[in-house]
Amino acid sequence: MNVLIIFDSLHGNTEKVARAISHGISDARVVSVKEASKENISDYELIVCGAPTHGGRPKPEAKAYLDNIPSGALKGKKVAAFDTRAIVEKQNFFLKWLMGIMGFAAPKISKSLKSNDWDLVAESEGFFVEDTKGPYKDGKIERARKWG
């Protein structure tokens, strides 16, 4: 299956997760959201899109890319979404509450894909980031490969 994985990333964690997901899929191409505009996405059977959670939403560039695809142009195309996010348990009471209210990026990416008549083939998935540099103590990279 021809697979395109599109990621957005500020500090590099989402890119690492995207590459780990690709190791769980045969024949997957991984591109940043900036490079994605050069791709002809109709060449791909499955498109996986991932972004860091910023303010409970996807970092804007990934969402802007998806929103720019003409409505219905890729009807029925198989898609899945993932995000990276902060570890809820490590936040103070206020931030825990805020994160609970604001939610995370991947369900929002999935929702916008679904509303464009794309065919969601997996539940959206979130991967926790310790801080901007990782590390990957929770087996995130291995979990990402399995999710792929």
Question: Rounded to the nearest whole angstrom, what is the least distance from the CB of residue 140 to ligand FMN in the complex?
Answer: 10
Task: Choose, by CB under 6 A, the member of 102, 117, 138, 146 that binds ligand FMN.
Answer: 102
Q: Is 55 in the site for ligand FMN (CB under 6 A)?
A: yes
Question: Rounded to the nearest whole angstrom, what is the least distance from the CB of residue 63 to ligand FMN in the complex?
Answer: 14
Bridge partners for 57 per DSSP: 54
Q: b/e map of 98-118 (b: 16 or more CB within 10 Å)?
A: ebeeeebbbebbbebbeebeb
Q: 27 is written with which tokens?
A: 């024949």
Task: Choose, by CB under 6 A, the member of 54, 107, 112, 120 that binds ligand FMN.
Answer: 54
The interface region with ligand FMN, picked from 31-39, 40-48, 99-107, 137-145 by CB under 6 A, is: 99-107
Task: Choose, by CB under 6 A, the member of 99, 120, 122, 141 that binds ligand FMN.
Answer: 99
3 state DSSP class of 17: helix
Residue with structure tokens 């791709």?
A: 39
Task: Choose, by CB under 6 A, the member of 25, 31, 41, 86 that binds ligand FMN.
Answer: 86
Asked if residue 105 lies in contact with residue 51, where contact means CB atoms within 8 angstroms, the answer is: yes
The interface region with ligand FMN, picked from 37-45, 69-77, 83-91, 112-120 by CB under 6 A, is: 83-91
CA dist list (Å): 145 to 16, 107, 114: 11, 20, 24
Q: Is 124 in the site for ligand FMN (CB under 6 A)?
A: no
- How far apart CA 42 and CA 64 sit, in angstroms, is 18
Q: Which residues bind ligand FMN (CB under 6 A)?
A: 9-14, 52-56, 84-86, 99, 102, 104, 129, 132
